[in-house]
């Protein structure tokens, strides 16, 4: 049997972790949270429906995130995103599938994203809408209970379903972008949970510093009612138009290292690792992400290599 010596800091961290898991698996989820991925810089549809169709070809990506490694019941997230341009790039469409699991609770969301794109100055401005369905299931019989008669766990599964809607605006030039979005504005349905809107503001720019080297500073600000804003500050360097290396800082949460390799004009792979700064770091080896992206379609022949955003 594993034993622990008493440590106030460790006990507070354990309490925070188990409280989070209990809220996620203890029968009734009071609020839905948007998932957060470190590689959103290379997966823009995840945070902004206005991103759909921002390239003249079809773009697809598959991502998996394992959070708080070495901690039982820690969150895992898988994301499949596909988007492309329609009607001479004046419209865009994307499909997003998110599978998120924490403890005994599994949440699956499927959404369709539409964006209308127009020229504005030297760039393009897009307004996007998102609509989809979400399903949350708690497998309560899988819990190991100190009190088997706990009425909160008297039923095997608790399932909630909801229709979800969001919107976003996205403006971009060849080497600059600015986006504002609420990915999940509301959730509707007889068993829908309360949606917690996240207002996301993000921007970035690409600058040439020497032959074969580009820099891309960027930021993301996430604002949630009753909580302090969370800020991501990132800096990426592109070498020989093939390899992105980057680092980021997420306030109060983690330091992030990232890499993306443009294997071919169509294929790219990405990796990210979060180094936790909170008290959870005493029990976790951090978080890992792996991304595989594949671009295809008629516009791929005119694709600039690499893609900056």
pLDDT tier for residue 304 given thresholds of 50, 70 and 90: low
Tokens representing 32 are: 């839905």
- Whether 89 has a pLDDT exceeding 90, the answer reads no
13 domain residue, yes or no: yes
pLDDT at 175: 93
pLDDT at 70: 66
C-alpha–C-alpha distance, residues 155 and 164, integer Å = 26
305 domain residue, yes or no: no
CA distances from 167 to 60, 130, 131, 170, 260 (A): 21, 6, 9, 10, 28
pLDDT at 298: 74
Query: Between residues 88 and 222, which one has the greater pLDDT?
Result: 222
153 domain residue, yes or no: yes
71 domain residue, yes or no: yes
173 domain residue, yes or no: yes
Other C-beta atoms within 10 Å of 187: how many?
Answer: 24
C-alpha–C-alpha distance, residues 179 and 222, integer Å = 12
- Whether 9 has a pLDDT exceeding 90, the answer reads no
What total number of domains does the chain contain?
Answer: 1
Does the pTM surpass 0.95? The reply is no
**Range scoring the smallest mean pLDDT among 46-60, 126-140, 208-222:** 126-140
Q: Is the peptide bond before 306 cis (omega within 30 degrees of 0)?
A: yes
1 domain residue, yes or no: no
The count of residues in the chain is 309
Query: Between residues 60 and 282, which one has the greater pLDDT?
Result: 60
pLDDT tier for residue 160 given thresholds of 50, 70 and 90: confident
**DSSP code of residue 280:** G
Looking up residue 181, the CATH number of its domain turns out to be 2.40.160.40
Query: Between residues 23 and 116, which one has the greater pLDDT?
Result: 116
308 domain residue, yes or no: no
Owning domain of residue 243: 8-299
Tell whether the torsion through CA atoms of 241, 247, 251 and 254 is positive or negative. positive
135 domain residue, yes or no: yes
**Range scoring the smallest mean pLDDT among 123-132, 193-202, 237-246:** 193-202
- Whether 48 has a pLDDT exceeding 50, the answer reads yes
């Amino acid at each position: 049997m594993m034993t622990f010596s008493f440590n106030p800091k460790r006990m507070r961290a354990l309490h925070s972790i188990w409280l989070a898991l209990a809220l996620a698996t203890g029968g009734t989820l009071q609020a839905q949270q948007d998932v957060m991925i470190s590689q959103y810089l290379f997966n823009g549809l995840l945070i902004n429906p206005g991103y759909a169709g921002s390239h003249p070809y079809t773009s697809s990506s598959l991502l998996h995130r394992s959070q708080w490694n070495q901690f039982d019941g820690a969150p895992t997230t898988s994301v499949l995103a596909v988007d492309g341009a329609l009607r001479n790039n004046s419209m865009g469409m994307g499909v997003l599938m998110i599978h998120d699991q924490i403890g005994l609770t599994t949440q699956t969301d499927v959404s369709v994203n539409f964006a209308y794109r127009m020229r504005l100055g030297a760039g393009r401005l897009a307004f996007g809408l998102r609509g989809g369905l979400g399903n949350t299931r708690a497998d309560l019989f899988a819990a190991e209970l100190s009190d088997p008669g706990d009425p909160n766990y008297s039923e095997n599964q608790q399932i909630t379903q909801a229709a979800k809607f969001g919107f976003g605006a996205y403006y971009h030039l060849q080497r600059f972008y600015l986006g504002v979005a609420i990915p999940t504005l509301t959730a509707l349905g007889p068993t829908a949970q309360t949606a917690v809107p996240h207002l996301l503001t993000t921007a970035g720019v690409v600058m040439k510093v020497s032959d074969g080297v580009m820099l891309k500073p960027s930021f993301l600000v996430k604002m949630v009612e009753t909580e302090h804003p969370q800020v991501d500050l990132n800096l990426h360097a592109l070498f020989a138009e093939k390899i992105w290396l980057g680092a980021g800082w997420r306030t109060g949460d983690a330091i992030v290292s990232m890499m993306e390799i443009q294997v071919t004009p169509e294929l790219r792979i990405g990796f990210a690792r979060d180094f936790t700064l909170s008290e959870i770091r005493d029990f976790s080896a951090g978080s890992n992400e792996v991304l595989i992206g594949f671009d295809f379609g008629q516009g791929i022949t005119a694709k600039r290599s690499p893609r900056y955003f």
